[in-house]
Amino acid sequence: MRKPKGNHYLLVVLDSCRYDTLVAARPKVLRRLGRVERRWSYASWTSPSHFNLLTGLMPHASPRHVLTSDYYQHEFAKFNPRLGVENFDFRAMLPRLYLPPVLRRMGWSTHAMVSMPVLNPATVLNSGFDTYKLMDRHNDLRAMVRRLEFPSTERRFYLLNTGETHYPYALPHEPEDSWPRLSGVHGVLGHLEGQAVGGKLRRRTPFTAKQLGEMRDRQVEAVRYLDTVIEELFDLVPNNTFVTVTSDHGELFGEEGYFGHGPIQHDKVFEVPFVEGKIR
Ligand SMILES: [Zn+2]
């Protein structure tokens, strides 16, 4: 069989990871993709943000003095280097405006591994995917890396959503009884898969500055850890692979009385890291 043209494309979402968290972690491996940009998510929580990513719109650069339609065209054109094709533009997305079925029509096989129950396979997000899996644990990118396959006869698109950077900022080897437990924070989706992954404020106040600082430090540590898993990912993928790493939204660690993400109007819930390229 003739080897298909184009790149494998990986879209990796570090759930809730703030831009300044990622910068503070100084990830060496991740920067092999290119310069880490400060961008802004279109949404403040997981579900609409992933929908937006899957319409092909990455976090935006908040450009001034341009028409949004021109900016969208400019953004869709970036799928040419991502996919290793030519002449991909907004029209390729019509009429569904959703990347997985478009990629499948273009000959890619499409796969998702997600960690957050709000992204589970029964949601509308699972459209046009050949496989779509909610992982057993909310915080184990390494388990996803171990499941990646790149057959030489196919080009693959993978969406990977991982939650080491999500509240409670826990690494997979860390026992649950050592995770931070904050009164006032509750897993809004705890009934799904038995995982408490919400992290919203029930009411203003309850945390001390020390607790909030410790949680920010835990998110920085999570990025340092993820950088080592990303190294394993980079060792695994074939040369013709393009990788985008970003976040779906930021996180608040006490600024103006906010904690977490979701129903929050604050710059830090929209500010996210963005880096992409082929591995150098
Ligand atoms: Zn999220």
* Cα–ligand 1 centroid distance for 134 (angstroms): 14
Q: How far apart are CA 258 and CA 203, in angstroms?
A: 9
Please tell me the distance between residue 6's alpha carbon and the centre of ligand 1 in angstroms: 30
123 Cα to the center of ligand 1, angstroms: 15
- 118 close to 70: Cβ distance less than 8 angstroms: no
Closest CA to 75 of 278, 274, 280: 274
Q: Which parts of the chain register pLDDT below 70?
A: 1-2, 182-205
Amino acid at 210: K
Q: What per-residue confidence (pLDDT) applies to 191? A: 38
Calculate how far, in angstroms, residue 2's C-alpha sits from the geometric centre of ligand 1: 39
CA–CA gap between residue 76 and residue 82 (Å, rounded): 10
Q: How far is the CA of 15 from the centre of ligand 1 (A)?
A: 4
User: What DSSP character marks residue 64?
Assistant: S
75 alpha carbon – ligand 1 mean position (Å):
22
What CA–CA distance (Å, rounded) separates 50 from 99? 11
Distance CA 278, CA 191 (A): 39
Amino acid 192: pLDDT: 37
Q: How far is the CA of 65 from the centre of ligand 1 (A)?
A: 30
Query: Which pair of tokens denotes residue 103?
Result: 């990629």
- Secondary element (H or E) of residue 68: helix 68-77
pTM for this one?
0.93
Report DSSP state, residue 242.
E
